[in-house]
Amino acid sequence: MAKAMAHLKATEEAVAKVQGELNTASVTARSGDRSVRVMVGAKGELTGLEFLDGKYRNMAASQLSASVLEAANAARAEMARRVIDTLDPLTRMSARGTVPERMGVDWGSIFGSLLSETSVAQGPTAMSRLRDEIHEDEEEPAAPPGGRGAADKRQGSV
């Protein structure tokens, strides 16, 4: 009985330590084009968003939104990995699959495809396909703020 109580006390202390670490955890990530930086908390919630170097001024709305989503997904995936690593001492690992599965914890149902979609080794993701489509669609540069668009210039009005 004393052994079980000692094990329970050690587990409770480990849980308290992990909770403290996760309560203050945050991750920062940038978009691939370096135009956006986002910060997320331990639960993957967006805690900060920065537009870097004024690059957003020359981006189409679709490009900017793709950059924000890319950075947010990268930060959320990194945080998910940190959560898994932090909880590792409290759970048991098996060697199956690319996402660690612990006894009694179904990480796939918790994080969904977040970890696999943002893995660098996976190749093209839904986000990279979106970015490719955005770049293919833009044949004309965006008009500067307050300036006239390319369509107006073709018609001769400047």
Percent of the chain exceeding pLDDT 70 equals 56
Task: Please give the pLDDT value at position 99.
Answer: 45
pLDDT at 150 > cutoff 50:
no
pLDDT tens by residue, 78-137: 998 888 888 877 765 333 344 444 455 666 666 666 666 554 444 444 444 554 554 444
Give domain status of residue 62, yes or no. yes
Give domain status of residue 75, yes or no. yes
Give domain status of residue 136, yes or no. yes
Question: What pTM was computed for the model?
Answer: 0.58
Tokens of 55: 């690059």
pLDDT at 75 > cutoff 70:
yes
Tell whether the torsion through CA atoms of 158, 134, 131 and 49 is positive or negative. Answer: positive
Tokens of 24: 């203050």
User: What's the domain range around 134?
Assistant: 25-142
Give domain status of residue 148, yes or no. no
Q: In the chain, how many domains are there?
A: 1
**Cα angle value 113/114/117 (rounded, 5°):** 75
Q: How confident is the model at residue 8 (pLDDT cuts 50, 70, 90)?
A: confident
Give domain status of residue 133, yes or no. yes
Give domain status of residue 16, yes or no. no
Give domain status of residue 82, yes or no. yes
pLDDT at 77 > cutoff 90:
yes
pLDDT at 45 > cutoff 50:
yes
The length of the chain is 158
